[in-house]
Structure 1
Amino acid sequence: MKANEFIKKFGWTGFKIACRQRAIDRHKYTIIWSDEIGFSNEINEIDADWTFESKEVLRLVESHELIGGDLEYAKKFYADCAFKRDKHLVRYKQAIADVESCQ
């Protein structure tokens, strides 16, 4: 399962909790089960549907927090900005796309 599909089905909670764990920075993969979070540097076939790249987990949660829960406002804000090549606005545009993909 892809990370955005997981969020669509189960919500943001598991990913947000995973991002607060120090272990996420030391492991390539984050495993999120219904009642537990784990980290690994290898993919286990049994947990493959619940295993996500830690970088992706961090990026999606950062995007969700950057947008702040109001996707329509974020889109309007971006559309009204004059300097779309600014590195911060490039990241903001990516955040909008990330949040849209999780809805």
Structure 2
Amino acid sequence: MRQPAAGRVDRAPVDGIFLTHAHLGHYTGLAFFGFEAVHTKDLPVHATPAMADYLRSNGPWNQLVEIGNIRLVESDPSRPVELGQGVSVTPLRV
């Protein structure tokens, strides 16, 4: 991956994230997409409405939303999410 002069990557290391459920070890890693690390822009994070609300309402994750590092995409369990090029993901309620 090419590095810009400021030492930041010019592209997110992933195209998007699916959060399956709210275990601490699952969502705390989102912090690495913030300003101090990768500093992504508009990275789609697919989550249930309840999980998305939690991220919007609690720090430090709400800062990722406010700054625009991540973009929350509410996914309804059991409904496929079309990712393009014939690829879809169907979240299952856990």
Shorter-chain TM-score bucket reads under 0.3
Name the structure where strand makes up a greater proportion of residues: 2
TM superposition score normalised by structure 2: 0.27
Which structure has more relative contact order (CA 8 Å, sep 6+)? It is 1
Name the structure where helix makes up a greater proportion of residues: 1
Give 1 or 2 for the bigger CA radius of gyration: 1
